[in-house]
Structure 1
Amino acid sequence: MDTYKEKRDLIIKGNIVKAILALAGPIMLNNLIQTIYNLTDTYWVGQLGGTEVAAITLIWPIVFFLLALGFGINIAGTSLISQYTGADDKENATRVSGQIVSFSLYFSIIIGIIGLFVAEPIIKMMGGEGRLLELASNYLKIIFAGMPAIFLFLAFTSIKQGQGDTVTPMKYSAISVALNMVLDPIFIFGLDLGVRGAALATIFSRSVFAIYAIYTLFYRKTGIQLHLKHLILKPNLLKKIIKIGLPSSLGQSSAALGFIFLNAFIISFGKSTLAAFGIGNRINSVILMPAMGIGNALATIVGQNLGADQIKRARQAVKTSAVLTTVLLTSGGIILYPFVPTIIRAFNTEPAIVSQGTFYLRLISLSLPLMGFFQIFVGTFQGSGHTLMAMFIMTGRLWALRIPLIILFKKYTDWGSSSVWYAMVLSNAIISLVGFIMYLTGKWQKKVIKKKPPLTGSEVDQNLDIDN
C-alpha cells in the first residue's frame, strides 16, 4: 500500500485518536524546530552585541506580516487538497497543488523585489536610525531576496499536509535547521559577515531544502506528482483558491498588526509589564504547542472527511481533538503552576518583572483550555474551507475584544497592569464561546468542493465549486 492511500485510509477510516496524534506529532516537532531556527540566529548574533540583536528583533514583525499574506493561499491549498484527497480525486488535488506552487513563487518574487527598495524606509518609520538602521536594513534585504525559498517551502508543506503527510516537511525542516546551525558561525564569524551572515545562512539553508522539496513533487510518484502543465496559471481556478485564502491572509496579517498595537498599549503600563508579557508568552508558546499541532492536524482531518462525505466523522474528530487539547493543556497548566516563579527568574530576576510575570503566567495556566478551544475552532473552519469564520474569530479576539478590554479596564478600574492579564483571559473565554456558537450552526460542514467526473481542457477550472 502506498503512503498516500495509507494516510487517507487512516484519516477517513482508522482510529480517530491515532489519526490526530499521527498528524499532530510532526507538526508539533516542526513548530519546535522553527523555534530553534530563531533561537540559533539570536544566539550567534548575540555574540556580536546588543545592537545586532536589536536589529534582528526590530524587523521580525515586518517578516511575520509579509509571511501572513502568503499563509492564506497555503491554508486554502491544504483545505482544497485535503477535501479532494478525501473524495479520492487525485487529479484535481494535483491541479490545485500546481497553482499553489506557481502563485507562491510569483507572489514571493514580487514581494522580494519591492522589499529591496522599501526595507530601509520601513525601518526608519519604525524608529531605526544610525547603526541599528544599517544592520536591520542589511538583514531585511537579504530576507526579502530569499522570500521565494520561504514561500515555496510553505507551499510544499501545505500540499503535503493536505494529503495527510506531516512527517516529510518536518524532516526537511529539521535537516535545514541543522545546516543553519553549522553555517551561522561560519558566515557570521568565519567570513566576517556579521548580521548579514546570519541572514545568508538562514536563506541558504532554507533555499537548499525548498528546491529539493519542490523537486520531489515532480519526481516522486508517491502521492501528488506535478508536471510542468500544472504550473501554468489558470485564472478561474486561481481566483477560487484566492477566494478561500484571502480571509486567512487578512486574519493572519491583521493579527500580526494587532500585536504591534497590543505591545504599544502594554508598554503604557511600564517596561516591566511588557517584559513580563514577553517572557510569559515565550513560556506559554511552548505549553501551547500540542494544541497548535492538534489544531493544524484537525484542518486536514476535517477536510478529508468532508471530502469523503463523512460529516459525522468530521464532527467526531473535532470533539476528540477538543478533549485531547483539554487534557494536555490542563495537565501542562497544573505541572507549570508551582514552578512559575522559578521559571520567570531564569529569564529575569528584577522583582517587578518576576512579580508580574508570575501573576500573568499562573492566570494563563489556569485558563489554557480556552486557548486550546480557540485553536480547535480555527483548525475546523480552515480545514472545511470556511475561512471567513476563522478570520472572524482570529481578528475578533484581538481587535474587538482584547485591545478594547485593556483600554476599558485601564480607564475604569484600579487593577493596574493586571488589566492586561484579565483582558487576555476574558477575550479568550468570549471568543471560545463565539467559536462554539459558530460551530453549532453547522455551516462549516458544507464542503467547498463538488465531486464531479474528471474534466479536460479549460473545463477543469469549473470543477471547483466554492461556497465560502
Structure 2
Amino acid sequence: MYHDLTEGKISRSLLLFALPMMAGNLLQQFYNIADTLIVGRVLGSNALAAVGSAYTLMTFLTSIFLGLSMGSGALFSIYKGKNDQDSLRNAIVHAFALIMAVTVLLNVLVYIGIDPILHFLRVPDEVWDGMKAYLLVIFAGIIATSLYNYFSCLLRALGNSTIPLVFLAVSAVLNIGLDLLFVAVLPWGIRGAALATVIAQYVSGIGITLYVLLKCRDLLPSREDLQFNRQILGEIGNLSSMTCVQQSVMNFGILMVQGLVNSFGPVIMAAFAAAVKIDTFAYLPVQDFGNAYSTFIAQNYGAGKKDRIRKGTRESFLISFLFCIVISAVVCIFAAPLMRIFVSAKETAVIASGVRYLRIEGAFYCGIGCLFLLYGYYRAVKKPGMSVILTVISLGTRVALAYILSAYIGETGIWMAIPIGWVFADITGLAYMKFQEK
C-alpha cells in the first residue's frame, strides 16, 4: 500500500505514514539493545563497553550507505510526485548499482583496517580483545544491512512504510531469541552476540529484497531502463553524496566523541554505551517523523504544491515539539531506572554517570527534533548541501566543546556539549529557511 502525501489532511497523512517507520526503527534498536542488555547482564561491564563502542563504529559505517539510500529516496519521491515512472525505474537501477558498489568496497576496507580503527578509537587494553572479536563477526552483516536500508528507503519514498516494519519485526524477534541462545545458554560470549545480530540482519535484508522482486514488479527495470542516463546519475550523485556526507560527518563526529569517552576508561565507556541506547530509543520517533516529513516535502515538491509544503512544515514542527517535551520529561524523571535496565544495580558509578548524561541531554530533545526536520526538508528540496552545513555546525560545536569542557569538568563536559551543538544548528537552519521564503 502506497500513501499519496500530495493529497488529504496533512497531519493525519503524515502520522499514518510515520507510525510504521517509528515502530520499525524502534524494533531495529532491539538489534543493539538486545546485545547491550544481555551482554551487560551476562558478560559484565568490559564486554558492555566493547559492544557499546562497536555500536558507535557500526552506526558510522552504516551511515555511509544509509545516506546514499536516503538521498536516492528523496529523488524517488520527487519522481513519484511528478508521476514520472520511466525516470523512477531508471533511478532505481542507477542508485542500486552505486550503493552496492560502495557497500562492498567499505566491507573490504573495514576488515583490512580493523586494528588501525581500534587504535583511532583509543580502545583500552582491557576492552580491546572483546571489541575486536565482536567486530570481526559483525562486519559480515554490512551487506545485509545495506540491502535492507536501500529497499526500505525505496518503499518509504514511494509511500509504503508498512512492509519494512514487517521484516524488521521478524528479524528483531529472531535477534533477541538468538542472543539469549548464543550468550546466555551457549558459551559463545561476545562473538555469539554479534552472530545473532548478523543472522537477523540477513533475514531482513534478503527478505525485503525478495519482496520487492516478487511483489513490486512495476518498479523493476525493463531493458530500456538499464541504459546509462548521465542526468539521472548526476541527480542521484548530488543528492546521495551530500546526504551521505551529512550522515557520515554526523556519525564521524560521534565517533570522535566516542574516542574521547574511551579515554576516560571502562566505567564511562559502559555508562555511555547504556545511556546512548536509551537516548537513541527516546528520540528515534522524531527522527523517523523527520524522515516521513522529508518524503512528504519531496512528493509535494515534485508536484509543485508550495502552499501545502508551507502548511505541512508548520504542522510538522508543532507535532515534533510536543512529542519532544513529553519524552524529555520521561527520560529526566526516570533516568536512574532506565539505566538499571542495562546495568546491574551494583555498578553504581556506571549508573551515576549515565544518569548525568541522560538528564543533561534529555532535557533538550526539542533541539534534535527540530534538527531532524531541517535535515529532511533540505534533502527533499534538493538542497542537501545545507544539511551538511547544519551537521558540521552541530557536530563541530559538539566535538570542540566536548574536548575543551571535559578538560575542566570531566565527562560532564562531553554531555553538555551535545545540546549546545543542536541549538546552534537549529538557529542556522531556521534562519536560512525563513530567508528562502522571502
The interval holding the TM-score normalised by the smaller chain is 0.7 to 0.9
| Helix, strand or coil at the partner of 1:79 | helix
The more displaced of 390-399 and 62-71 is 62-71
Specify which of 370, 374, 385 is matched with residue 373 of structure 1.
Answer: 370
In the alignment, the residues of structure 1 paired with residue 124 and residue 359 of structure 2 have an alpha-carbon distance, to the nearest angstrom, of: 38
Letter in 1 for 2:371: F
**Which residue in 2 is equivalent to 1:39?**
33
Shift of 1:188: 5.4
**Which residue in 1 is equivalent to 2:15?**
21
Q: Deviations over 1:169-206 (max 9, x none)?
A: 11111111222233344555777654444333322332
Q: 1:233 to 1:105 in 2, by over 3 A?
A: farther
Please say if 1:390 is aligned against 2:384.
Answer: no
In the alignment, the residues of structure 2 paired with residue 126 and residue 359 of structure 1 have an alpha-carbon distance, to the nearest angstrom, of: 23
Q: 1:320 to 1:55 in 2, by over 3 A?
A: same
Q: 1:127 to 1:345 in 2, by over 3 A?
A: closer
The share of aligned pairs that are identical, in percent, is 23
**Which residue in 1 is equivalent to 2:57?**
62
In the alignment, the residues of structure 2 paired with residue 109 and residue 153 of structure 1 have an alpha-carbon distance, to the nearest angstrom, of: 14
**Which residue in 2 is equivalent to 1:89?**
84
Q: Unaligned stretches of 5+ in structure 1?
A: 446-468
**Which residue in 1 is equivalent to 2:398?**
402
Shift of 1:137: 3.7
Cα pair 1:382 1:390 within 8 Å, conserved: yes
The count of aligned residue pairs is: 435
**Which residue in 2 is equivalent to 1:253?**
248
Letter in 1 for 2:19: G
Q: Unaligned stretches of 5+ in structure 2?
A: none
**Which residue in 1 is equivalent to 2:304?**
309
Q: Deviations over 1:362-387 (max 9, x none)?
A: 44444332222111111111222311
Cα pair 1:302 1:380 within 8 Å, conserved: yes
**Which residue in 2 is equivalent to 1:160?**
155
**Which residue in 2 is equivalent to 1:147?**
142
Please say if 1:296 is aligned against 2:291.
Answer: yes
Q: 1:36 to 1:343 in 2, by over 3 A?
A: closer
Q: TM-score, normalised by structure 1?
A: 0.80
Cα pair 1:116 1:145 within 8 Å, conserved: no
Cα pair 1:12 1:308 within 8 Å, conserved: yes
**Which residue in 2 is equivalent to 1:460?**
none
In the alignment, the residues of structure 2 paired with residue 408 and residue 255 of structure 1 have an alpha-carbon distance, to the nearest angstrom, of: 19
Q: TM-score, normalised by structure 2?
A: 0.85
In the alignment, the residues of structure 1 paired with residue 328 and residue 54 of structure 2 have an alpha-carbon distance, to the nearest angstrom, of: 32
| Helix, strand or coil at the partner of 1:14 | coil
In the alignment, the residues of structure 2 paired with residue 338 and residue 196 of structure 1 have an alpha-carbon distance, to the nearest angstrom, of: 35
| Helix, strand or coil at the partner of 2:304 | coil
Shift of 1:218: 2.5
In the alignment, the residues of structure 2 paired with residue 232 and residue 259 of structure 1 have an alpha-carbon distance, to the nearest angstrom, of: 40
Q: 1:210 to 1:249 in 2, by over 3 A?
A: same
Letter in 2 for 1:375: F
**Which residue in 1 is equivalent to 2:197?**
202
1:176-187 aligned at under 5 Å gives the runs: 176-187=171-182
Please say if 1:424 is aligned against 2:418.
Answer: yes
Shift of 1:427: 2.6
Cα pair 1:306 1:384 within 8 Å, conserved: yes
1:260-299 aligned at under 5 Å gives the runs: 260-265=255-260, 280-299=275-294
Shift of 1:233: 6.1
In the alignment, the residues of structure 1 paired with residue 75 and residue 44 of structure 2 have an alpha-carbon distance, to the nearest angstrom, of: 46
Q: 1:127 to 1:434 in 2, by over 3 A?
A: closer
